[in-house]
Structures are given as structure tokens and as C-alpha cells.
Homo-oligomer: A and B are copies of this chain.
Amino acid sequence: MADFALTPDPPYTAVIFTSRRTSADDQGYAAAADRMEELAAQQPGYLGIESARDDKGFGITVSYWADETAAASWRSVAEHREVQRLGRESWYEHYAIRVATVGRARTYPTA
């Protein structure tokens, strides 16, 4: 997926996930990433997701949530937790997660 999230007017929560992939298990990783996008979209308070990874394995995924509670609930969904464990075990060399409150937003062309 590579598209813009259609988020409502702020405030809302953004979870910025920055990561560098290992070279391991591309297929398993891709399947899990697709499944996580599908599962996230079913959670209460989900607003959208944006994701890009370059050809060197560096990627940024930003998921948007109605509030911090919704973001925290997604973090603790059992199937997601298992994928987080696999991520640390196999797929990611390094990652950073930042939870932020979006206060202002604009687009070009304007929406």
C-alpha cells in the first residue's frame, strides 16, 4: 500500500514507526505487513496508515488513530503482539516508535 490517509481535522494521534529491515524472510515479512494493515483497519479509532520503504530497507510507517487510547489498544492486540515479537526476532535490525499528537495539518492540493 502506498497512499495518503484521509484523516479528519486535528487533533488525533500519529504513531511514527521508523525501521530498518534485516535481509531475512522477505516473504514472511510482506505477508505479515499486509495482514497487520488489514487488522489495524478493523480496530476502533483507526483513521488510516501511510507507509514507504526505500530500496535499502529503510522504512517509515505512520498510523493515525482517534486518540492515544486507540493507538495503545492496537499495540496490545494479541495477533499484533505476536508479529511485534517476530519483528524483533527476525525482520528488523532496528526500529523507533514515536507517539505524537497531531495539532495541525494541510495538504496540497488543498482538500
Contacts and interface: CB of A to CB of B under 8 A. Distances in A.
Interface residues of A, number: 40
Given A54-B54, A107-B95, A62 B18 contact: yes
A8 B106 CA distance: 27
A55 B72 CA distance: 31
Contact of A60 (B10, B52, B102, B105): B52
Contacts of A105: 96-99
Each complex incorporates copies of this chain amounting to 2
B52 A98 contact: no
Interface of A: 2-5, 7, 10, 14, 16, 18, 20, 50-56, 58-60, 62, 68, 88, 92, 94-109
Given A10-B98, A51-B60, A96-B106, 16 more contacts: A16-B62, A18-B62, A50-B60, A52-B58, A52-B59, A52-B60, A54-B54, A55-B55, A60-B62, A94-B107, A95-B108, A96-B105, A97-B105, A97-B107, A99-B102, A100-B101
